[in-house]
Structure 1
Amino acid sequence: MKTRIFALTFAAALVLSCQAKKAAIANAPATPEPPQVPTAVTVTEAHAKGQSLYENNCARCHKLYAATNFSQADWKPILARMQKKARLDDADMGLITNYLFDLQKN
């Protein structure tokens, strides 16, 4: 008799815990969209290369930040520090910097 009560209690707990997980998943917020390039930006070859470099090099180690998350003054030391870690040359770093600063203008 005790075994049946234990089995029924365990089964009820299992069913209730699964329903709680389904409700939590259903109420979870949608995953955030990555930062979008404003439509007013004229996409040039340099802009596209800067975007590609930013997305491919920076996202290897951490999430990508929107250009507007930091001011240009804040970006400069961040980019200088990350250039060394990502082993980017000055030309590539210039493209990334121009890409981020162009996004802030719009």
Structure 2
Amino acid sequence: MNFKLFAVIAVFMLILACSPKIVPTTPVVLGAILSPELAEGKSIFENNCANCHGLYAPQDFTAEQWKPILLKMQKEAKISDEERDKIYAYLTKQ
């Protein structure tokens, strides 16, 4: 009796070992597709702001809070008014 039980368990373990491994995947959330203008603002934001400090997420601040931040950082990053406006549009998704 013990031998039969051992044999059944061994066969079961062999089947499990040879079965394909199923790896749970997390759902992929695709980012929103940005217009060319917003994509340019994002690029300017990432390439200029990350040079000095970590990047903040756009939702970390409201549209009104971003205005003085961008005005101050514009001088530090030496970006034009047009570039600042593109960054603002990206950050506020306007």
TM value normalised by structure 2 = 0.64
Alignment of 1:13-52 (within 5 A): 38-39=31-32, 42-52=33-43
Q: Which of the pair is proportionally richer in helix?
A: 1
Which runs of 5 or more residues in structure 1 are unaligned? 1-35
Question: Residue 62 of structure 1 is aligned with which of 53, 62, 85?
Answer: 53
* Distance in 2 (alpha carbons) for counterparts of 1:61 and 1:92: 17
Residues 37 and 71 (structure 1 numbering): CA distance in 2 closer, same or farther, change over 3 Å? farther
- How large is the RMSD of aligned CA atoms in angstroms? 2.0
* Distance in 2 (alpha carbons) for counterparts of 1:85 and 1:57: 10
* Distance in 2 (alpha carbons) for counterparts of 1:65 and 1:92: 17
Structure 1 segments (4+ residues) deviating >2 Å: 36-39
**Among the aligned pairs, what percent are the same residue?**
41
TM value normalised by structure 1 = 0.57
Please tell me whether Structure 1 or Structure 2 has the larger radius of gyration of its CA atoms.
Answer: 2
